[in-house]
Structure 1
Amino acid sequence: MASDPVPAPDKPLDLLDVALFVRAALLANVTAAGREFGVSAAVASARIAQLERQLGARLLHRTTRRISLTQDGEVFMAHADTLLSAADAARASVGHGRSEPYGRLKVSMSSSFGRQHVAPVIPAFLRRYPSVSLDLRLSDEIVDLVDDGYDVAIRLGALKDSTLVARKLATNRRVLCCSPAYLAEHGTPRHPADLAQHECVILGDQRDWSFATPQGPLTVRVGGRLVASNGEAIREALVDGFGIAIKSTWDVGPLLASGALVTVLDDYPFAEDIAIWAVYPSRAHVPLKTLAFITFLAEHFGDPPYWDRADGP
């Protein structure tokens, strides 16, 4: 059984040691905490051990797989949060005090949405915050924010249960649509059940389409010869006259406005409303650069979002 550390001679606590302890406790992972501060797992562990020696108390239970707070750790955690907040306030009270967002911001989001609605305004964001640099990763893969070192991700649709903090950026209105040429050849569905007779284009494994009807929610399992993991591929198939699909208005708004695509089953809205979210790791102190980016996007998108408004962005 591990004994409590022997107290070291009195000297001021190192705020980096305290911050590493707080992040390690919140993430239940010393390696991830060290990564956030740009130090190795060995260095992070050594600094937390140094803090324990100074306090003369063991703050963390350590196993080969995870860590957890000891009773002393729980008590110190509350004071540590207050200490770091006070340090931030003191730093912000003089000079620039890092009161402006600064540092490298690593962001992940879907390829299609990022290219269409975020990439065009990145220069404006960087001009507004000259002390911020941006690492923008566009991918349809869901990344692990903590393990992969991301500050924030933009995600579309329903969120899975997680330890991440989520902020809604905009509604994500969806429509069922196809080309006029498809309807001319195959006819127009009048009820969700009619979709069983149509060529449906499917995103990933999303074969169950749920609608709100006067009789209550109705889920239809659709079929089709084209399944794609990328929304742009589905959009191009629709424009070419192949099939019916669920699409977000942020992706097909201009095509609907031009008549290249038309909506069907307008009297049967989808049973579930979904949104566009910014998600970021839970932490005692969210970096200003993260909050600035999230606020910038929310203001740019608007409510309702500009792609659903007649006046545009």
Structure 2
Amino acid sequence: MESLANLEAFVRSAECGSFSEAARRLSLTPAAVSRNVAMLERNLGVRLFHRSTRKLTLTEAGEGFRQAVVGNLEGLQAAIAGISADGGEPVGTLKVSLPPTFGVSHVLPLLPGFLARYPRVRPEWHFENRQVDLVAEGYDAAIGGGFALSPGVVARTLAPAHIIAVASPAYMRGRVPPSDPAGLQAFEGIVMRSLQTGRIRHWAMRDAAGCEVVAQQRESVVVNDPNAMR
């Protein structure tokens, strides 16, 4: 495939009838323009110009080629100019999947500032507790945790999720608070079922020293949304 520089050198030389004048319009040297045209002729296997010391004239093949490419060249140049004028500014729909609790509490408040910075972006945010298929479902990005990433997915950590065990004062009245995660087995608990695996999630709890213990609870209520556990 020919480079844009070779095609532009050919079209401008045909318009000007001179490598020197074409070079002035392209801000190149005459030698560079002549070299680009010669490369184009060599790649095509045809002579595009009749050359003389006074003027360039198109061959029959050159005229036919000029008519075929001039409109396309202008279209390419307009497309390049248009995208350059945007300065790389993001434009279009941004489709993102995010969990309802985290999204509403932490991401949604950032929306006004985001729109002020990127006014040509139209957010399409889906609040849902599930692992989406980024490619098959047409998502640009997803926020979540607790599931495996597909090969090739680029990811970064936004923040750690800290989970603590709490109970209402009314429930704890007359009961002895547990001193470690193992003690939670004596209490009824609200637990969460994973939408991805269908299994009950068991929380890994750490003490101040960093020792980790999996907390087991009696399942009195099962939900599938973190917000429902509050």
TM-score, normalised with respect to structure 2: 0.56
Instruction: Kindly indicate whether the alpha-carbon contact (under 8 Å) linking 2:94 and 2:121 is maintained by their aligned counterparts in 1.
Output: yes
| Other structure's SS at 1:120 match | helix
Preserved contact between residue 182 and residue 216 of structure 2 (Cα < 8 Å): no
1:223 equivalent in alignment to 2:218: yes
| Deviation at residue 218 of structure 1 after TM alignment | 2.8
Q: How does 1:59-70 map to 2 (within 5 A)?
A: none
Q: CA RMSD in A?
A: 2.9
Q: Secondary structure at the match of 2:219?
A: coil
Say if 2:193 is the partner of 1:197.
no
Q: Who is 2:131 aligned against?
A: 142
Give 1:154's aligned amino acid: I
Aligned: 1:117 with 2:106: yes
Deviation of residue 114 (structure 1)?
A: 1.3
In 2, Cα distance between equivalents of 1:185 and 1:211:
25
Pairing 1:206–2:195 present: no
The answer to whether the 8 Å contact 1:92/1:98 transfers is no
Shift in Å at residue 219 of structure 1? 2.6
Which structure has more RCO (C-alpha within 8 Å, separation ≥ 6)? 1
Provide the rounded CA distance (Å) in 1 between the counterparts of 2:103 and 2:95: 14
Say whether 1:234 aligns with 2:229.
yes
Question: For residue 275 of structure 1, what is the aligned residue in structure 2?
Answer: none
Q: Please list every run of 5 or more consecutive structure 2 residues that lacks an aligned counterpart in the other structure.
A: 5-79, 194-198
Q: In the TM superposition, what is the alpha-carbon distance from 1:123 to its structure 2 partner?
A: 2.3
For residues 220 and 232 of structure 1, do their structure 2 counterparts lie closer, same or farther at Cα, with a shift above 3 Å needed? Answer: closer
1:132 aligns with 121
Identity over aligned pairs, percent? 34
More strand by share: 1
Quickly say closer, same or farther: Cα 1:101–1:176, change in 2 above 3 A: same
Would you say how many aligned residue pairs link Structure 1 and Structure 2? Answer: 149
Partner residue of 2:7? none
Partner of residue 155, structure 1: 144
Instruction: Return 5+ residue gaps in structure 1 as ranges.
Output: 1-9, 14-90, 236-313
1:198, 1:92 → 2: CA distance? Answer: 68
User: CA offsets per residue over residues 121-158 of structure 1, 9 Å max, x none?
Assistant: 212211211111111111112211110000001113x4
SS in 2 for 1:148: coil
Distance 2:162 2:211 in 1: 20
Match of 1:166, SS? Answer: coil
> How much does 1:208 deviate?
2.8
Tell me whether 1:171 sits opposite 2:157 in the alignment.
no
Residues 128 and 161 of structure 1: CA distance in aligned 2, closer, same or farther (over 3 Å): closer
Cα offsets for 1:66-100 (capped at 9, x unmatched): xxxxxxxxxxxxxxxxxxxxxxxxx5998534411
Pairing partner for 1:181 from 133, 148, 170: 170
- Are the structure 2 counterparts of residues 161 and 115 from structure 1 closer, same or farther at C-alpha, using a change threshold of 3 Å? closer
1:185-243 alpha-carbon deviations (Å, 9 max, x no partner): 433111222111101110113343333467954334322210100112111xxxxxxxx
In structure 2, relative to structure 1, the CA distance for the partners of 1:174 and 1:217 (3 Å cut) is closer
Which residue number corresponds to residue 49 of structure 2? none
For residue 160 of structure 1, what is the amino acid of its counterpart?
A: A
Question: In the superposition, relative to structure 1, how do residues 207 and 114 fare at CA in structure 2: closer, same or farther (>3 Å)?
Answer: closer
